[in-house]
Amino acid sequence: DTGVSQDPRHKITKRGQNVTFRCDPISEHNRLYWYRQTLGQGPEFLTYFQNEAQLEKSRLLSDRFSAERPKGSFSTLEIQRTEQGDSAMYLCASSERGMETQYFGPGTRLLVL
């Protein structure tokens, strides 16, 4: 299966700790998106990369959040000084230039205690 992969699938951390998630997009896709989903709600956009350039960030992405895609392939999303309100499913999606369909990974479920 060469779909979008995310690691880890689950993460439990204590409030105040830093966490980092990884997303590997479909290999030929140059666009990569991060979304966050809380229980009972649809996913909310966080940020978007085209190759290595971060082109858009949501206001949801506070200063404690940072995302990178250094080589235009995989991406990382780091949350510093986690808070209980950060508990959510973090989803990554990718799309191919010229094709608008976004393909999602399985997500990383974060629980902040």
Partner 1 sequence: LAKTTQPISMDSYEGQEVNITCSHNNIATNDYITWYQQFPSQGPRFIIQGYKTKVTNEVASLFIPADRKSSTLSLPRVSLSDTAVYYCLVREGFQKLVFGTGTRLLVSP
SS (H, E, C) 67-81: EECCCCCCEEEEECC
Q: Is 1 in the site for partner 1 (CB under 8 A)?
A: no
Query: Exactly one of 48, 65, 69, 77 binds partner 1 (CB under 8 A); which one?
Result: 48
CA dist 60 and 54 (Å) reads: 15
Query: Exactly one of 67, 77, 89, 112 binds partner 1 (CB under 8 A); which one?
Result: 89
Q: Is 44 in the site for partner 1 (CB under 8 A)?
A: yes
Window of 14-22, 64-72, 74-82, 105-113 that interacts with partner 1 by CB under 8 A: 105-113
CA dist 86 and 79 (Å) reads: 8
Measured from the CB atom, the residue of 52 and 80 that comes closer to partner 1 is 52
CB–CB of 75/49 below 8 Å? yes
If one counts every other C-beta atom within 10 angstroms of the C-beta of residue 99, the result is 11
In the complex, the residues that contact partner 1 under the rule CB under 8 A are: 4, 31, 33, 35, 40-45, 48, 56, 58, 89, 91-93, 95, 97, 100-107, 109
